[in-house]
Chains A and B, each alone.
Chain A
Amino acid sequence: MAIPTESGAGALPVPPKKRSEARGLKKGLRQLLRSKTGMIGAVIVLIVCLIAIFAPLLATHDPNAVAPIDRLKPPAWLEGGSSDYLLGTDNLGRDIWSRIVYGSQVSLIVGIGAVLVSGAIGAVLGVTAAYYGRWVDAIIMRLADSLLAIPTILLMLVVLAVVGPGMWTLIFVIGATNWVSYARVVRGEVLSLKERDFVKSARMIGARSGRIIFRHILPNVMSSFIVLSGMNVATTIIMEASLSFLGLGITTPDVSWGGMLSDGRQYVATSWWVATFPGMAITITVLGVIFLGDWLRDVLDPRMKLKNG
């Protein structure tokens, strides 16, 4: 990206926020230790990540192996349970513990993947809108308004009905429909930064637009971005569950908590464990992500308090 003929970054004025950010991070970590909910959130998210990474070691069964004879076995500690199946089995006799373990991978991949895609789309469109202004801005922002006026889940429902369900389609569909909040935040930040001294002087030195955007503006919107992403990972996990309920979630061989919960809803009254464990997994993970997100928000961007609940 760097062009040799240009002078190094050192020649440019240092963006003022960078230093304060580093300081903020240290302060933030200290705050994290003090904030109880932030701690809980961080621990939960860490555990989920570890489970996802070490899934093959933690799982006791092939998550997709069915055993009709062993179907709907209760968890090991209940009467009729077997030590083979820690959390019991589902309607096809699959081991719920192993499925939850592997499901964590999918939840994280979908959550993070969708956020990356929507973040990327939002960033590009937001920066473009703010930087080029006028009709480009008008079109992009009207497009954002239009998307905001259609419930996301409806949009996804229609798109998924067309392209068919699946993990990667889900990521891209959520990504493609969820970029609006990112674009808005980025556009706002860029608009206010555009007029600041260091950007102006970078321009005067003759730095190219792309370089200015990447080197100087993006780092400054990072904090808002991270805060938004925390919220979005949570909504994405819930969204996947809702889509599973409507029959357009992730399908085998990928295991998702939303799919498990949705498949298990028929058995809530008769075999509670089928739906309850994936439901708990979703709820606890989302809880963790929200707590962590709150802490991030307090640390990184106190102004966001007003914009997000």
Chain B
Amino acid sequence: MGKYLVKSLLQMIPVLLLISLIVFVLVRVTGDPVALMLPESATEADRATLTRELGLDLPLYQQYGIFLTNAIQGDFGTSFRYGESALPLVLERLPASFELAFAAMALAVVIAIPLGIWSAVKRNTFIDIFISGISVLGKAMPNFWMGIMLILLFSVMLGWFPVSGRGGLTHLILPAITLGVSLAAQMTRLIRSNMLEILNQDYIRTARSKGIFELFVIGKHAFRNGLIPVVTIMSLQFTSLIGGTLITETVFAWPGLGQLLVSAVNTHDMAIVQAAVFVIAIFVILMNILTDLVYRLLDPRIKYS
């Protein structure tokens, strides 16, 4: 297991190198930082000076080298919007985004598992079709639309939850639903199809035919085996979950990484974009390794090769 961990961590290196290259290329083609940093009244000489100071007159490979050396030391440059070092700005947003992402994930699991199982057990009945319909609907509805509707319904009309901002648990509920619903939809469908496959397997059928208490069968055998792919999909969805926060956070004025990123992209504050992409990528990769470990714990048949 230790060996496996070391190996996966080592495999992160080339991936991160490639990500750094992607980020570097993106930033270099993102227009002219000099024009954005200088006031309108700046002269040509001002421009030339700043270009030199930023090292933008060097050959590209040298620029990349410098960028990489700095990035390894956690230096992604200074956000020109805030005039502060970019990495701390990104890191201070993580708790808010994690809070939202984990809440959405938890919500999705809580919704998806019972619905998925129920749907599978009641296969081809009205309930099954209804649940399938709802879950597809959850996937088919654009995120921001759902967010706005939820605010109108639950905050403005019913007054149950605050409209926006980050605060207590009540502030978390609507954005978590907005973000979690499409996740839950996908999970429900996955759990259903896995459960179906498992319920069809001989030992379960035997158990059921023997009249062993239904819930017991489902709980003991089917559920456990049906859960493994859920763990996988959780790791796969973490990326899209983080992507989803870009939109959900804007709708709910949630002060997380997503809002920071959207405004950074809109103001071409590339230091922040670079730092954020890196932090997200490292996080996603670590999550993948973690879920892989959990996966292996759940399914001892997989060897640590």
A contact residues vs B (CB 8 Å cutoff):
36-37, 138, 142-143, 145-154, 157-159, 161-162, 234, 238, 241-242, 245-247, 258, 261-262, 265, 268-269, 275, 279, 282-284, 286-287, 290-291, 305-306, 309
Contact assessment for A36 and B129 in the assembled complex, using a CB-CB cutoff below 8 Å: yes
Q: Which of B136, B229, B246, B277 contacts A287 (CB 8 A)?
A: B136
Q: Which residues of A have CB within 8 Å of B132? A: 37
Q: Which residues of B have CB within 8 Å of A306? A: 193-194, 229
Residues 4-48 of B at the A interface (beta carbon under 8 Å) = 14-16, 18-19, 22, 26, 29-31
Instruction: Give CA–CA (A247, B22) in the complex, Å.
Output: 23
Q: Which of B136, B139, B239 contacts A151 (CB 8 A)?
A: B239
Q: Which of A161, A234, A286, A291 contacts B265 (CB 8 A)?
A: A161
Flag the segment in B64-72, B148-156, B202-210, B211-219 that touches A. Answer: B148-156
Q: Which residues of A have CB within 8 Å of B149? A: 268
Q: Which of A242, A284, A309 contacts B144 (CB 8 A)?
A: A242
Known A151-B280, A261-B142, A286-B139: A268·B148 in contact at CB below 8 Å: yes
User: Which of B19, B142, B190 has the most chain A CB atoms closer than 10 A to its own CB?
Assistant: B142
Given contacts A158-B277, A290-B136, A306-B194, 16 further A-B contacts (CB under 8 A): A142-B18, A148-B239, A149-B280, A150-B22, A150-B280, A150-B284, A153-B244, A154-B243, A161-B268, A162-B26, A162-B31, A241-B144, A246-B246, A268-B152, A282-B142, A309-B187
Q: Which of A37, A151, A159, A279 contacts B240 (CB 8 A)?
A: A151
Task: Give chain B nearest CB distance to A162 CB in angstroms.
Answer: 5
B298 proximal to A (CB < 8 A): no
Contact assessment for A151 and B193 in the assembled complex, using a CB-CB cutoff below 8 Å: no
Which 4 pairs between the two chains have the least Cβ-Cβ distance?
A: A151-B243, A286-B140, A309-B190, A149-B281
Task: Give chain A nearest CB distance to B269 CB in angstroms.
Answer: 11
B141 proximal to A (CB < 8 A): yes
Instruction: Give CA–CA (A138, B15) in the complex, Å.
Output: 10
Q: Which of B233, B273, B285 contacts A149 (CB 8 A)?
A: B285
B145 proximal to A (CB < 8 A): yes
Tell me whether chain A's interface is mostly helix, strand or loop, or mixed: helix
Q: Which residues of B have CB within 8 Å of A262? A: 144
Known A149-B239, A158-B265, A161-B266: A245·B277 in contact at CB below 8 Å: no
Q: Which residues of A have CB within 8 Å of B79? A: none
B119 proximal to A (CB < 8 A): no
Contact assessment for B140 and A283 in the assembled complex, using a CB-CB cutoff below 8 Å: yes
Give the interface size class of chain B: 35 or more
Q: Which of B26, B139, B142, B280 contacts A159 (CB 8 A)?
A: B26
Instruction: Give CA–CA (A238, B142) in the complex, Å.
Output: 6
Instruction: Give CA–CA (A290, B266) in the complex, Å.
Output: 33
Q: Which residues of A have CB within 8 Å of B156? A: 269
Known A151-B246, A247-B266, A261-B145: A162·B29 in contact at CB below 8 Å: yes
Q: Which residues of B have CB within 8 Å of A138? A: 14
Contact assessment for B140 and A234 in the assembled complex, using a CB-CB cutoff below 8 Å: yes
Q: Which residues of B have CB within 8 Å of A284? A: 140
Known A154-B277, A269-B156, A305-B193: A149·B139 in contact at CB below 8 Å: no
30 A-B pairs with C-beta separation under 8 A = A37-B132, A145-B18, A145-B285, A146-B16, A146-B18, A146-B19, A146-B281, A149-B239, A149-B281, A151-B280, A152-B239, A154-B243, A154-B277, A158-B30, A159-B26, A161-B265, A162-B31, A238-B140, A238-B142, A238-B143, A245-B142, A246-B247, A246-B262, A261-B142, A262-B144, A265-B144, A279-B141, A287-B140, A290-B139, A306-B194
Task: Give chain A nearest CB distance to B30 CB in angstroms.
Answer: 5
Q: Which residues of B have CB within 8 Å of A162? A: 26, 29-31
Task: Give chain B nearest CB distance to A233 CB in angstroms.
Answer: 12
Q: Which residues of A have CB within 8 Å of B139? A: 234, 238, 286, 290
Q: Which residues of B have CB within 8 Å of A279? A: 141-142, 145
User: Which of A145, A147, A275 has the most chain B CB atoms closer than 10 A to its own CB?
Assistant: A145
Q: Which residues of B have CB within 8 Å of A234? A: 139-140
Instruction: Give CA–CA (A215, B68) in the complex, Å.
Output: 44
Q: Which of A153, A159, A258, A305 contacts B243 (CB 8 A)?
A: A153
Contact assessment for A149 and B15 in the assembled complex, using a CB-CB cutoff below 8 Å: yes
Instruction: Give CA–CA (A234, B142) in the complex, Å.
Output: 11
Q: Which of A151, A269, A291 contacts B152 (CB 8 A)?
A: A269
Known A234-B140, A283-B140: A152·B240 in contact at CB below 8 Å: yes
Q: Which of A149, A153, A265 contacts B145 (CB 8 A)?
A: A265
Task: Give chain A nearest CB distance to B157 CB in angstroms.
Answer: 10
Contact assessment for A291 and B144 in the assembled complex, using a CB-CB cutoff below 8 Å: no
Contact assessment for A287 and B243 in the assembled complex, using a CB-CB cutoff below 8 Å: no
B137 proximal to A (CB < 8 A): yes
B84 proximal to A (CB < 8 A): no
Instruction: Give CA–CA (A146, B13) in the complex, Å.
Output: 10
B189 proximal to A (CB < 8 A): yes
Q: Which residues of A have CB within 8 Å of B247? A: 153, 242, 245-246
B197 proximal to A (CB < 8 A): yes
Q: Which of B22, B136, B190, B285 contacts A291 (CB 8 A)?
A: B136
Residues 158-211 of B at the A interface (beta carbon under 8 Å) = 186-187, 189-190, 193-194, 197
**Minimum CB distance partner of B190 in chain A:** A309
**Minimum CB distance partner of B19 in chain A:** A146
Q: Which residues of A have CB within 8 Å of B194? A: 306
